Amino acid sequence: MVKYLGPKEEVPYQPKAILAIIDEVPLLSPAHLIFWEWIAEYYFCSIGEVMHAALPAGLKLMSETKVMLKESFQGEFENLTELEYLIAEALTIQHQLSLQDIRDILQRKTIYPIINSLISKGILFVEEELKKKYKPKKLDFIYLKPPFDQDLNLAFELTEKSEKQTDALLALHQLISQKGKASKADWYRAGNIDTGIKNALIKKEIIEVLPETVSRIQTKEATLKELPVLNVEQENALVSIKNGFGKGKPVLLNGVTGSGKTRLYIELANETLREGKQVLFLLPEIALTTHLINRLSKVFGKKIIVFHSRLNNSERVEVWNAAAQGQPILLGARSSLLLPFNNLGLIIVDEEHDRSYKQDDPAPRYNARDAAIMLAVKMKANIILGSATPSFESLYNVELGKYGLAVLKQRVNNQPLPKINLVDLKEARKKQLIHEEFSSHLLERIQENLNQGRQIILFQNRRGFSPFLKCRICGWHAICVHCDVSQTYHKYFNKLVCHYCNYQIVPPTHCPDCGSDALNLYGFGTEKIEEVLRQVFTTAKIARMDFDTVRTQKGYQTIIEDFEAKRIDILVGTQMVTKGLDFDSVGLVAVLNADMIINFPDFRAHERAYQLMTQVAGRAGRKNDQGEVIIQTVRPDHAVIRDVLLQNFRSFYQREIKEREQYLYPPFYRLILIIVKHKKPKVCHFAAEQIANALKAHFRNRVKGPTEPVISKIRNQYIRHVMIKLEKDARLMASIKYYIKINIDRIRKEEGMSTVRFNVNVDPY
Ligand code: ADP
Ligand code: ZN
Ligand code: ZN
């Protein structure tokens, strides 16, 4: 904790003089600073790292080095080398030079030896200047000076002789009465006005030009005035929510897709605004939720601003300032949590179960949903967590009575939930009812939906064409040279690509090990699915939505628009298709391979698989009639699949949570993962062993490892994991963090170990 000293307290060090005051008003309120400290403390990082994540680049100070001549220098150029002479001479003309100026003058990169030599000869000195990068955007506005602002006719008397000036004044008057004020640019455009006319009017003291700061942030006008009236179930949920808020509890809103969660968020936000307080609306990913954002913009208009990753540095500063100055609603992904709200009344965490709320790298490795709970406590704000498939942590907190609960079981207008059907892939293969990755049943259903004019979404959790290129003779397969990862074949680029470091090569025609040409592709990604579809459904309009198409072919937005306008019949995609799409005529949704999702080596694999499949299924049949979902799997009897089929999240939760307790996993235990990285495998392993052993001495079998993770090398760094499972006990947590810290410091001081990286990830899931 930072200690704040009172004005008269003794300090245990020699204070330095204040050179300049950079911010007239603090950038941050004390409450926010306390929140930052909590993040640093809980997520095991420095407060500087939190600051770095929070502050927009435009507000971070940049120090710039300036070089100047000493006053004693009187033009004694004799003893200087040629390069030194160039600088000294430039300085006699220009008062000061930046390092970049000097590089330009000397036409070379290495300039420090020359500067040092000039300093030692007593000719130069160097000064650091602090600079802020952000500059407010200024526009010139034109005003009528009194008394002309009251009576324009007085002005016309002065411009009698010039028709142009009179016209210009008329144009100005019109602009001001329309918009309240007139920018110079608007005025110039409105009439046929130029600098000459402007200057003449200034000279006659009829108008004046005043520069004013204007906002760079784009907002939209509210266009939606009427909201649908809440139905009975929504009214009841609202009562439960307020009930929870009244007790000072966070509330979990568990509502199936299309049940009106967003409608309730709007209701709560409106109430908060009426109290004059701010709303923070958190979403897992901004790019994938344009739909929702547009809907909210229509309701809230200029009251809402969106903090998204495409903002430039200056816009970020303005969002920051807007938050500090009471902007009613801010909507953003996880980092908007770090904005300096001055009067926060409500936090909405939509899709609270989403993994994107967790930041893995760099520090702070925080989970925005969990940190939002803390922010709400510190700011005395209400907080609502919404999801169709809540995280186990949140459900468990409801069980413990820490969170309130509101439930929406029905889709608006009682639209039925989609019907889910399974296809047993093993059976289909045995009976040869399969074409590539498609069972005959799925192909039939696709055809039928096409015939009916309904749209189809196909989900495959892997991009590219094929994840493996293997040699049938010797077993060689294509692995990234920098990572311990198989390279994925991308047919469109004709490249083997590493999805971890993006290293790419042209696929070999012969096996690099045995020279045979028996190279085969195994497995399938979205690109291959698309290709097969095009072969089978030759007349259908097919599109793909994954990282590759969104980045290189059509933007996300275009694909969505095309789909909405029915320019696409079948959309194939990765997770991107599971989020925020709200389409009216999707008849069929299919998961091509559920097993890949379920068999993920992670204690949350089942939870995530359930969530993912439910989210995908939720895209089907949102309006009009019942949608259809097909899940292909080799294990139709798998417990998770069974639960998805029943669409009963509660029973799924009840069963799974027992296993969590039995195997000491969250939400019963806390996890801290220490990720050790080094470019030499031996050093990496040794460092991991050292930290594991040191911790085991105190914390015994709570410490597991070191282990080699599934992907044990990324970007030439070898990786080892040390996992800590801890009872939920704040003192134990504090003490283990202390031991982690001192041991990391100790190990890194040992010979050859200073380059080992230890990333400590608290709640790494
Ligand atoms: P969710 O966020 O749970 O998916 P939404 O709030 O988006 O649900 O609601 C789904 C659709 O139903 C939206 O188009 C919404 O405008 C509409 N809707 C929500 N509540 C009502 C209501 N009470 N009456 C009529 N339509 C509603
Ligand atoms: Zn081979
Ligand atoms: Zn790689």
**Predicted confidence (pLDDT) per residue in 670-716, tens digit:** 999 999 999 999 999 999 999 999 999 999 999 998 999 999 999 99
* CB contact at 8 A, 527 and 492: yes
> Is 492 among the domain residues?
no
Look at 765 and 689; give whichever has higher pLDDT.
Answer: 689
Sheet with 137-144: list strands edge to edge. Answer: 182-183, 137-144, 207-214
- pLDDT tens per residue, range 220-230: 788 877 899 99
Residue 553 lies in domain: 419-465+524-660
Q: What is the DSSP letter of 473?
A: T
> Is 744 among the domain residues?
yes
- pLDDT tens per residue, range 498-508: 999 889 999 99
Together in a domain, 73 and 118: yes
Model confidence at 5: pLDDT above 70: no
For 559-603, where are the E strands, in sequence order? 570-573, 586-591
- pLDDT tens per residue, range 258-313: 899 999 999 999 999 999 999 999 999 887 777 888 889 999 999 999 998 778 88
The CA-atom distances, in angstroms, between 239 and each of 230, 234, 607, 650, 750 are 12, 9, 29, 22, 60
Together in a domain, 198 and 120: no
* Whole-angstrom Cα Rg for the chain: 32
- Closest by alpha carbon to 130, among 28, 23, 16? 23
**Ligand located closest to 386 CA:** 1
Together in a domain, 247 and 383: yes
Together in a domain, 160 and 115: no
Which ligand 1 atom is the nearest neighbour of the CA of 266?
Answer: 6
- Closest by alpha carbon to 390, among 231, 288, 286, 261? 261
| Ligand 1 pocket at CB < 6 A | 228-231, 234, 255, 257-263, 412
CA-closest residue to ligand 1 atom 8:
260
- Closest by alpha carbon to 712, among 601, 597, 606? 601
- pLDDT tens per residue, range 507-548: 999 999 999 999 999 999 999 999 999 999 999 999 999 988
Range 128-142 average pLDDT = 78
Candidate of 263, 265, 581 to mutate for ligand 1, largest count of ligand atoms within 8 Å of Cβ: 263
Where among 131, 162, 189 does a domain terminate?
131
Tokens of 643: 């639960």
Look at 134 and 43; give whichever has higher pLDDT.
Answer: 43
Distance of CA 390 from the midpoint of ligand 1 (Å): 19
Q: How far apart are CA 101 and CA 105, in angstroms?
A: 6
Together in a domain, 106 and 165: no
* CB contact at 8 A, 372 and 282: yes
pLDDT of residue 1: 44
Look at 596 and 359; give whichever has higher pLDDT.
Answer: 359
**Ligand located closest to 516 CA:** 2
Overall number of domains in the chain: 5
pLDDT of residue 34: 93
Range 76-80 average pLDDT = 81
Average pLDDT, the chain: 90
Burial of 301 (0-12, 13-18, 19+ CB in 10 A): middle
Which ligand 1 atom is the nearest neighbour of the CA of 264?
Answer: 6
Candidate of 227, 232, 289, 412 to mutate for ligand 1, largest count of ligand atoms within 8 Å of Cβ: 412
Distance of CA 497 from the midpoint of ligand 3 (Å): 8
Together in a domain, 392 and 262: yes
- pLDDT tens per residue, range 381-417: 999 999 999 999 999 999 999 999 999 998 887 778 7
Together in a domain, 299 and 162: no
Model confidence at 625: pLDDT above 80: no
CA-closest residue to ligand 1 atom 25:
228
Range 365-381 average pLDDT = 97
* CB contact at 8 A, 282 and 350: yes
pLDDT of residue 193: 84
Together in a domain, 654 and 689: no
Where among 131, 157, 189 does a domain terminate?
131
pLDDT of residue 130: 63
- Give the pLDDT band of residue 7 (cuts 50, 70, 90): low
Together in a domain, 402 and 304: yes
> Is 190 among the domain residues?
yes
* CB contact at 8 A, 363 and 45: yes
Percent of the chain with pLDDT over 90: 59
